[in-house]
Amino acid sequence: MAKSVRFAFYSPFRIVRPEAEIVKPSYSSAIICFMERSGTGPRLIIVCGLPGSGKTTLAKMLESRLHAVRFSPDDWMDALSLNIWDEERRGKIEALQWKFGQELLALGLTVIIEWGTWGRSERNTLRLGARALGAAVELHYLSASAEVLFDRIQRRGMENPPVDRDALSRWFEMFQAPTHEEMALFDKPLVADLAWVETDPSPG
């Protein structure tokens, strides 16, 4: 049976652990919230794929179904009115999100990383870091053809300046798709009935 755990967050997401064990708060405004500890133990869920492959759609479904904490750099950059193409700031936000993610895993929660994770080395770092905390780790890989991705990206109109076909072609060259051997390193997903999203994802 899932247990309710109380946390205080220092915006954004500075954690105060249960029983007054404080993690060096560096933000001033405290928000009290309740989160549910996973009945199956801590779990990291990595959602991997290129823009337009359906990562956000799947991540939000898993977030709702598993009462998880979802980390998306695009969401934070949009909330902070930052340029989503600013790779330096994106890198800092992802590093901060992973720091908070590890703290949540250590508390027995389920964490979703929605970064795209284009390289195997990045996925390895997340997997090994989570396993060191005793967490199970899932990898969900979403894919679609360049033509389908380009159509979805154009329809959602989130990027400014818009993504052109040449940029998308370069992304395909850079992206390291997970192999069967790599997928075998991860745990079986808790929610198997969402598998259809990974073969026919909605735009997002």
Instruction: Render pLDDT for 97-131 as a digit per residue (tens, 0 to 9).
Output: 999 999 999 999 999 999 889 999 999 999 999 99
Is the pLDDT score of 49 beyond 80? yes
Residue 20: the pLDDT is 34
Confidence band for 95, pLDDT divided at 50, 70 and 90: very high
Residue 18: the pLDDT is 38
Residue 37: the pLDDT is 58
How is the beta sheet containing 136-141 ordered, strand by strand? 69-71, 110-116, 43-48, 136-141
What ranges do the domains of the chain cover?
1-37, 38-198
In terms of Cβ atoms closer than 10 Å to its own Cβ (0-12, 13-18, 19+), residue 120 is middle
Tell me which fold the domain 38-198 belongs to: Rossmann fold (3.40.50)
Amino acid (1-letter code) at residue 42: P
Query: Which range is least confidently modeled, 18-27, 45-54, 121-130?
Result: 18-27
Q: Are 98 and 88 in contact (CB under 8 A)?
A: no
